[in-house]
Amino acid sequence: MKTPVTDFLARHTFDARPMAMEDLLAEFDRQMEAGLGGRPQSLAMIPAYVTLEKAVPIHAPVVVMDAGGTNLRTAVVWFDEKGQPRIEDFAKYPMPGTTGHDVSAEVFFGTMAEMVAPLSERATAMGFCFSYPAEIQPDGDGRLIRWTKQVRAPEVVGQLIGHGVKTALKRATGRTMDVKVLNDTVATLLAGKSIGLARHYADYVGFILGTGTNTAYVEKGMAINVESGGFDGVPQSDFDRAMDTTLPDCGAYRFEKMISGAYLGTLALTAITMAAAEGLFSENAARAIAVLPALSNKDFDEFTFNPFVHGTALDAVPMTDDDRRTFRALGEAVLQRAAYLAAANIAAAVLRGGKGRDPLHPVCVTVDGSTYYRTKSAQFKSRIEAHIRDILAPRAIAYDIVSVDDAPLVGAAVAGLTA
């Protein structure tokens, strides 16, 4: 049924299903194939140099580190007979280089060695989930490409992270440790392998949908970091293009900007601002929307879910009930499209792996991220899973979507034990 909102969305080339699902899956696969063949377009397809063939040993302790923000977490992990991780000696520290001033490479690695030193008495291997841009090496180390999240350790750029930690630890304690470096999406994939000790999965996929998004899957035994946030195979709407021009990385990570938590609130604000300018909101609401400085994903989701909620940035907008209906319709459209695209991303990875034909041995899809699990509006999580079911069930592909607590730590432990 045509409404002012549906007409507005059509005028601005916004569709909750921007292309046919089969065409979308084919484009994902085409670009994945190109990246694997050394001709990357928008999908980097980076080998993680992690294989899935080795069994995860039980009752074997391994040191883990997880660095991906302002905090760095350490622990010792081992797995029981059921694949349940046992996390011991857990500690959390400030990430070196996040205290407001530059630190040298010597201080950076020395600080990490101090954190690990007490744990190195319990294990000689470490899995390091390092969620900054790094080029993973064939020997399992990772060379830092650049820092993000305001880490100030410029001398570390270009250095091998695992080697730096090992060298500093040897200097401080005399002990030697093997270090396996991996990113958070590959760690999420590997976290599912611990469940596989009891479930006998045929294949593994990792998917993160939080502040950002990414996917990992297994290609011929090797874990591949897809870097799916960069996918450019989906047509953009006027809202996407308008939002992108306001961002410092204009033109990059187009897919991530359509589905992840860092952008959905801003995308929704772009849409409602344009709708207000075109008369879809009352005059009072339109004036307030025009000067609204920002809209977080959390506030956007809260208000879309309950347009009478208080305590969000939208308290500043005086809305009639019709305004609330308009906002909710626009917000749900943004989230419905995100769910459709996220499902295509997950399904494309499952299909690329080529497994799951035997229901005794399904594909394990481990999903992590606050946007996936905490978004309330548009029946977001169940909508994603319904789309996946619509894609995979007719193909007779068996799969499980699972959540693993502390996935970065657990996945890093699997990597450290099977490297």
Could you report the per-residue pLDDT of 53-103, keeping only the tens digit for each?
888 999 999 999 999 878 899 999 999 988 899 999 999 999 999 988 999
Q: What is the pLDDT of residues 181-221, one digit of tens each?
A: 999 999 999 999 888 777 889 999 999 999 999 999 999 99
Classified as helix, coil or strand, 142 is: strand
240 lies in a domain?
no
Residue 19 has pLDDT above 90, yes or no: yes
100 lies in a domain?
yes
The number of folded domains in the chain is 1
Rounded to the nearest 10 degrees, the angle between the axes of helix 261-277 and helix 283-290 is 130
197 lies in a domain?
no
Residue 1 has pLDDT above 80, yes or no: no
62 lies in a domain?
yes
Residue 79: HSE in the Cβ half-sphere, 13 Å Cα cutoff? 26
122 lies in a domain?
yes
Q: How far is CA 87 from CA 183, 284, 370, 409, in A?
A: 20, 54, 22, 9
Q: Could you tell me the residue range of the domain that residue 87 belongs to?
A: 52-187+409-418
Residue 174 sits in a domain whose CATH number is 3.30.420.40
165 lies in a domain?
yes
Q: Which residues in 107-116 are b (16+ Cβ under 10 Å) and which e? A: bbbbbbbebb
148 lies in a domain?
yes
90 lies in a domain?
yes
